[in-house]
Structure 1
Amino acid sequence: MSMTRLRNPLFLLWVPFVLSVQFSSAQEKIILGLTTRNGSTSLPFVIAEEKGFFKAEGLNAIVVIMQNQVVVNGVVARNVDYGGTFSNFVGAALTGLPVRIVMSAMNGSDHYLVTAPNIKKVEDLKGKNFGISSFGGTPHSEAIMILRKHGMNPEKDVTFLQIGGSATRFAAMESGAVQAAMLVPPFSNFATKRGFNQLMSFNEIMNIPLGGLAVHTQRMKEKPDEIVKMI
């Protein structure tokens, strides 16, 4: 009986190594930074995580909640793989930082300016507290544009308080801690039912994309297929 000689004994060691590397690559943890799990622009990513859509694409993507600027700084430093916010990344890209927005979640804002019952117009906000999620975040940027559109100085005429997501901002309005906030449904609807004023939609000021997926330019070169799967 003749035996087939193994020409390359290292082959038996090489195959498990290759398979191990491939498996490890498929299971590499991907950090997706969001500012909240509850906002409408966050829902596509949260649903993808909870319903296993990321895993179906072979991605081990994990949503991590952090402050808006932390998301941007993390992507720039490559400690965070993807950012699920929008306005801060626009500013970062315009200043020359190596980040790009590769997807927009919405083609318009779902934020409404909601104010205390005694505030009937934007100009009445002078001297009042304005609740925002974080400095530089979308609600903050939108509030600044609304105030300027109505001839006010955002730096002097109101006091911005960094509070958190729409649910927290709504609670702050109910407690009287702030007299205005940019809220998304259903919190904007809850507010009007409880006597607060819904002065306007941000879309009345400007219609711009909202939410999205941002990434470091180097990752765009290194992992274009992964980016497509994330989208």
Structure 2
Amino acid sequence: MLSIDLTYVGAGIHEELIAQFADQEGFFEDEGVRVALRDGAVWNTDRVRAGATIGLGRALISRMTSGIQWTALSVNTHRPLFWFLGANGLKSMEDLRGRRLAVHGPRTAPGVFARIVLRKHGLDPDRDVQCVERIPGDYQMDLRRLREGSIDAAYVGSTLSAEQVAREEGFAVLSWVGDHFQIPTVGLAVDPSRIPLDDPALQAMVRAYKRSLKTIAEQPSLAVEHIASMMGRLTSAEAEQHYERYIRPYFSADGRVDLDVARQGVAAVAAELGISAGDADRMYLATL
């Protein structure tokens, strides 16, 4: 059987749903490939390059800053699954002015997306908000700090449902990134200097991935089962609501990119980083 490593760089259904689905439904096995899912959240980029990666945002930034010719072969969604969650009376993004926000670093992909959305709401992330930087995780410490009042808001990912947490804890969902900024953020990408695009194991994984995307679009009840298994705090009804709000409308059924959306997103990331986008939009051409 063929084998390949697949790295995610931030836990949650945003990164892991499709890979989890392909694994649990036997699609990788059907294609004759053994996929080792690896947590590369704190790995350096060179180590991530040794296998395929789910994190298209991180790959894009390293392509623009380091010239690594990352190439995407499948795109899951153009809507980043990150939310701004507020406590201590915060009800809107405008209420973040002068408040303490736990957020990813400004040179990470989620951090860049956060800064772009803050600016869309008229907030300068370096002057108007007290950014408390932390590394990606399951965000449980953020919830603890929101409860105790040491931060006023947190930028959280898809290891949890922001709406469900807000209801339970008395917090407020201030904004979903996907409503304000679109860019291909998760899927499959490789550095062709390390793994050729025609590598049999890679191509087998791409086929299994696309089968998963198609099945998730066509079999909602099965998709909801997987979401519920990955997000243990959700009831079946809440998992279905999460699927209908964030997955069904916005996850691709075929892994193809919307190149116009991708180019706009790339330009916004380059502007936020203060660098040239160069030919970064070519990263997605293999998914057309």
Q: Name 2:284's counterpart in structure 1.
A: none
Q: Please say if 1:183 is aligned against 2:183.
A: no
Q: Name 2:54's counterpart in structure 1.
A: 84
Q: Name 1:200's counterpart in structure 2.
A: 175
CA apart distance, 1:145 = 0.8
Q: Please say if 1:139 is aligned against 2:114.
A: no
The residue identity in structure 1 corresponding to 2:59 is: F
Q: Name 2:63's counterpart in structure 1.
A: 93
The CA RMSD measured in Å over matched residues stands at 2.7
Distance 1:227 1:87 in 2: 20
CA apart distance, 1:216 = 0.8
CA apart distance, 1:136 = 4.1
> What fraction of aligned residue pairs are identical, expressed as a percent?
21
Change (3 A) 1:207 1:27: closer
Q: Please say if 1:162 is aligned against 2:134.
A: yes
Distance 1:188 1:72 in 2: 29
Change (3 A) 1:172 1:64: farther
Q: Please say if 1:148 is aligned against 2:119.
A: yes
Distance 2:145 2:198 in 1: 42
Distance 2:10 2:179 in 1: 25
Change (3 A) 1:94 1:181: same
The residue identity in structure 1 corresponding to 2:69 is: P
Q: Name 1:72's counterpart in structure 2.
A: 45
The residue identity in structure 1 corresponding to 2:137 is: G
CA apart distance, 1:91 = 1.4
CA apart distance, 1:137 = 4.1
The residue identity in structure 2 corresponding to 1:218 is: S
Which region of structure 1 is more displaced relative to structure 2, 131-140 or 221-230? 131-140
Structure 1: state its 5+ residue gaps.
Answer: 1-25
CA apart distance, 1:161 = 2.4
With structure 2 as the length reference, what TM-score do the two structures score?
A: 0.60
Q: What is the aligned length?
A: 201
Structure 2: state its 5+ residue gaps.
Answer: 207-288
Whether the 8 Å contact between 2:98 and 2:130 is mirrored in structure 1 is: yes
Q: Please say if 1:226 is aligned against 2:201.
A: yes
Q: Higher Cα Rg: structure 1 or 2? A: 1
Distance 2:48 2:40 in 1: 12
Change (3 A) 1:55 1:206: same
Match of 1:39 among 3, 7, 13: 13
Whether the 8 Å contact between 2:12 and 2:157 is mirrored in structure 1 is: no
For residues 68-100 of structure 1, the C-alpha deviation after alignment (integer angstroms, 9 at most, x for no partner) is 6x2633234x3xx01111211111223321322
Distance 2:57 2:119 in 1: 17
Partner-residue secondary structure (3-state), 1:84: strand
Distance 2:39 2:104 in 1: 12
Distance 2:205 2:194 in 1: 13
Distance 2:99 2:193 in 1: 43
From the two aligned structures, give the one with the greater strand fraction: 1
Match of 1:116 among 71, 79, 87: 87
For residues 98-157 of structure 1, the C-alpha deviation after alignment (integer angstroms, 9 at most, x for no partner) is 322221111323332211142233243244332235664443222111222233332343
Whether the 8 Å contact between 1:32 and 1:83 is mirrored in structure 2 is: yes
The residue identity in structure 1 corresponding to 2:178 is: N
The residue identity in structure 1 corresponding to 2:134 is: Q
